[in-house]
Amino acid sequence: MDLSWMGWTAFTATFFAVIACFLVIMIVWEKLRPGGAPKVGILGFETTRGDRLFISLLGSAFIHIGWLFFIGGILWWALAISVVYGLAVFKWA
């Protein structure tokens, strides 16, 4: 099957594989420790683990888009910023 029209590259496949792994990890985490202890963080409203994952993924997408717009080129620094952002969201949001 030719999927070249979709722009499937190794990076694209890795991106979707990582998101799939995140979802599997969240499922296993929920099975091991149900509930996830919703909490109110710096955002001012109650979030669950799933909410925090969504917020971190959405924010990471914006970080990468902003990086491409303003800096361009290699995305390793955007990835590093996204990882730090994701950890901060899970810790404080």
Q: What is the pLDDT of residue 74?
A: 86
Give 5-68 as a DSSP string.
GGT--HHHHHHHHHHHHHHHHHHHHHHHSTT---EE-TTSSEE-HHHHHHHHHHHHHHHHHHHH
Confidence at 61, pLDDT banded by 50, 70, 90: very high
pLDDT in tens, 64-89: 999 999 998 888 899 999 999 999 99
Q: Is the pTM of this model over 0.75?
A: yes
Question: What is the domain partition of the chain in residue ranges?
Answer: 4-92
pLDDT in tens, 4-56: 677 777 777 888 898 999 999 989 988 988 877 788 888 888 888 888 999 99
